[in-house]
Amino acid sequence: MTLSELQTSFEQAFGKQAEKIFFAPGRVNLIGEHTDYNGGSVLPCALSFGAWLLLRKNDDGVLRFRSLNMKETYSIQLSAIKPQPNRAWCNYALGCIDIIGQRHPEAKLTSGYDLLYYGNVPAGAGLSSSAAMEVVTARAFTEELSAVCYQQSDDKAYRTELAKISQLCEQQYAGVMCGIMDQFASAQGKKDHAIHLHCDTLEFEHVPVKLDGIKVVITNTHSPHHLDSGAYNDRVRQCQTALEQIRKVRPINYLAELTPEDWQEVEQAITDPIAKKRAHHVVGEVARTAAAVEALKQGNIAYFGELMTASHVSLRDDYEVTGPQLDALAEAAWQVEGVLGSRMTGGGFGGCTVSLVKDEAIESFKAFVGKEYEAKTGLKADFYVAEIGDGVTRLR
């Protein structure tokens, strides 16, 4: 949808033109899965699709939320800002407005606003449609409310603050105790770069991704991402069990501190076989992520692809979070000439795979993987050829 079409939609909804337009991207994690809560790093990048926000002040003292993707509309008095019931989609935006005021008391909301959202991130695919909505709202209202964080000269610090605001929104208003990777990637994204992020310290660097003649292809299982809290908490607990048993022979704070060589010395300390498998994945994934960063810096995309594939195998065999749909996609992709690597991305048990595919192989990739996937699962996959884009920005 073009900006002109979005402006027309805004006028149809509110009777006037929007004053400003903002955009924030979705994200995909290229490698580094289930490492964040184990003290490791991740390697996401911002995508070329995401969420748009058009806004205009009104004199009615009301926040009016409309979305071209949702039927529900909301009108909320400035004096009644609080989480809305029934998992209202506006909570992903309303919470950001509220939290800006909590973190920056000088940012007083004194005017109502008409707000129109549009997103082209596939919902339920694990590509952070909610984070994009949060970050685009945080960007718009830190500017509108002249918050101190918006006025500061350090752009990276400002964008980190947007990620923190957005993460708190999802936790407090949507009730999802998420990490910060999704919001961070949407805020700090840089065109043709991945973000090597240490989630505990928020230290990061932009790493160039030189994909000459190669595209990032995201494939949607249409088996919605649903790593439920029980499965997620089980794996957190199993990693904690491994950590506690390792500490009997080596004092460490996180599993991510172990190198593969260290692992050979301490793995016998883990008596729980499931916990050992989980820890084995973490140690290997941390090493793969570090190797992937170096491969990108050296322009060795072929090796980067091999590391992606190895990541999926580990997530399948040791962490057991892939499931038949993601495995069917990845295993079909590995058979296509011109595919450098393919893996699940996100928490697992549904969602998407991410693949590196040579330009000349994209159509054969779609045809073969789509056919194989439907034959194995009865489901139809969707394919998105993505560009690595910039983080949140004001467009007008």
Q: Is there a contact between 351 and 326 (Cβ–Cβ < 8 Å)?
A: yes
Beta pairing class for 339-345 and 112-119: unpaired
How many Cβ atoms sit within 10 Å of the Cβ of residue 175?
10
Burial of 77 (0-12, 13-18, 19+ CB in 10 A): exposed
Give the residue carrying structure tokens 């299982």. Answer: 221
Six token digits for residue 154: 């350090």
d(CA 33, CA 315): 8
Q: Which of 98, 114, 182, 327 is catalytic?
A: 182
3-state helix, strand, coil split of the chain in percent (to 5) is: 45, 20, 30
d(CA 32, CA 44): 8
Six token digits for residue 170: 């999802």
Count of CA atoms in the C-beta half-sphere (13 A) of 188: 28
Q: Kindly give, in sequence order, each residue whose CB lies less than 8 Å from that of residue 359, ignoring residues fewer than 6 positions away.
A: 213, 214, 215
Mark whether 390 is an active-site residue.
no
Q: Is there a contact between 351 and 344 (Cβ–Cβ < 8 Å)?
A: yes
Q: Is 254 left (phi over 0), alpha (psi -120 to 50) or beta?
A: beta
* Type and span of the H or E element at 216: strand 214-220
Closest CA relative to residue 391, chosen from 39, 62, 155: 155
Please calculate the CA angle 227-232-236 and round it to the nearest 5 degrees.
Answer: 160
Name residue 240's amino acid: Q
- Known catalytic residues are 182
